[in-house]
Amino acid sequence: MMERKIKIGIIGLGNMGSGHARNILSGQCPEIELTAAADVRPERLEKAKSEYPESVKLFSDAGAMLASGLIEACIVAVPHYDHPSYTTACLERGIHVMVEKPICVYTAQAREMLAAAKKSNAAFGVMFNQRTNPMYREMRRIVQSGEYGRIRRSNWIVTDWYRPQAYYDSGDWRATWAGDGGGVLLNQCPHQLDLWQWICGMPDRVDAHMHCGKWHDIETEDDVTAYVEYPGGGTGVFIASTGDDPGTNRFEITMDRGKLLAENGRLLLWELPEPEPVFSAKAQGAFSRQTPTVREIELQGDNPQHVGVLNAFAAHILRGGKMTAEGEEGLNSLMISNAIYLSSWLGRTVELPVNEELYCEELQKRINTSRYKKQ
């Protein structure tokens, strides 16, 4: 007997949507069958027509695809502002949906999407493919095990998202408040913001400094430094930019009895003989300190990325397996980015959960003066 496959459609055949299509058509998602795809751009449909088998029905209107009966699940890979409308349309029809990151532009939108999901029997997932990386999975396991105590400090420098001006010039919507909804935080860093909170937990206070168009001719941010405070007393710093070449991707977490460092595909662990508070209380010398042992953590498992997320999505639909990231998990990282924006715009510390009404008011001011005018 032939095993059942999930019949899936894709809305948006840009870089990400076409990439998902290639993965499915090449057989990397054995429980998924691509049966339809939709895009508003005729040139993309023509390209798809020449590359996809005839069994994939192509639509110029996503609504028509959703009403066709050809799909039971859908990947939404369109500009950020359009994520809520297409996701909700899927959920209202009982169509399982996987939305690209970020879940949307602001948290009030996300709550509407989650409300639609609650009313639907359909599955709702977010494409946080970096959660499949064994390095970050191991960091999360170690931190959340409690073996090394509380988090004292987290520090992520992620400036290897370098983009030349030509990248921004490739689309008039790019890095505009009206077209993109943000810059490096919303476009390049949703994965890191998700991993940051997935591993370290959610902060409750954010104080941020954001520079718009510092390194490029754009209206949104391309250089950000954010300081956060955690409920347990720890602190964190997040630095991101698209203007550094060469850039850095260095994630460090200091705990009471050790330190983790993820950089260049390696995970290092410093272990202290005793928790720092215990040692500090009994040390006799004014300059006493412990000697840590340092070792590289051997990483276990594959790193399937987008394919892994889609395969887990199919397994969830078919057998009730666990998704890589459910829709509601897209809210936390978006909450942090919204807080960073709001803190910078207001010039002060903001508390989480973010004031959603105030955020929307401030964003709208920037949309009103945006150089991009949606057709």
Identify whether the C-beta of residue 277 lies closer than 8 Å to the C-beta of residue 256. yes
- pLDDT of the residue at 310: 98
Coil, helix or strand at residue 91: helix
Task: Give the closest residue to 31 by CA, choosing from 72, 69, 59.
Answer: 72
CA 330/CA 145 separation, integer angstroms: 23
CA 146/CA 291 separation, integer angstroms: 21
Tell me the CA end-to-end span of the chain in Å, nearest whole number: 50
Question: What residues contact 22, with CB distance under 8 A and at least 6 apart?
Answer: none
What does the block give as tokens for 319? Answer: 């057998």
Identify whether the C-beta of residue 105 lies closer than 8 Å to the C-beta of residue 39. no
pLDDT one digit per residue (tens) for the chain, 375 residues: 448 999 999 999 999 999 999 999 999 999 999 999 999 999 999 999 999 999 999 999 999 999 999 999 999 999 999 999 999 999 999 999 999 999 999 999 999 999 999 999 999 999 999 999 999 999 999 999 999 999 999 999 999 999 999 999 998 999 999 999 999 999 999 999 999 999 999 999 999 999 999 999 999 999 999 999 999 999 999 999 999 999 999 999 999 999 999 999 999 999 999 999 999 999 999 999 999 999 999 999 999 999 999 999 999 999 999 999 999 999 999 999 999 999 999 999 999 999 999 999 999 999 999 999 876
- pLDDT of the residue at 1: 42
Domains and CATH numbers, the chain: 6-130+305-326 (3.40.50.720), 131-302+333-368 (3.30.360.10)
Instruction: Give the burial class of 123: count Cβ atoms within 10 A of its Cβ; 0-12 exposed, 13-18 middle, 19 or more buried.
Output: buried
Coil, helix or strand at residue 362: helix
With vertex at residue 17, the alpha carbon angle to CA 15 and CA 23, rounded to the nearest 5 degrees, is 100
| φ/ψ of residue 28, rounded to 5 | -75, -10
What does the block give as tokens for 361? Answer: 């008011």
CA 44/CA 168 separation, integer angstroms: 20
Contacts for 15-21: CB closer than 8 Å, 24+ residues apart? 16/77, 16/100, 16/127, 17/75, 17/77, 17/78, 18/44, 18/48, 19/306, 20/75, 20/77, 20/306, 20/310, 21/48, 21/52
The tens digit of pLDDT for each residue in 90-139 reads 999 999 999 999 999 999 999 999 999 999 999 999 999 999 999 999 99
CA 64/CA 67 separation, integer angstroms: 5
Contacts for 263-267: CB closer than 8 Å, 24+ residues apart? 265/135, 266/135, 266/296, 267/135, 267/138, 267/139, 267/296, 267/297, 267/299
The tens digit of pLDDT for each residue in 295-354 reads 999 999 999 999 999 999 999 999 999 999 999 999 999 999 999 999 999 999 999 999
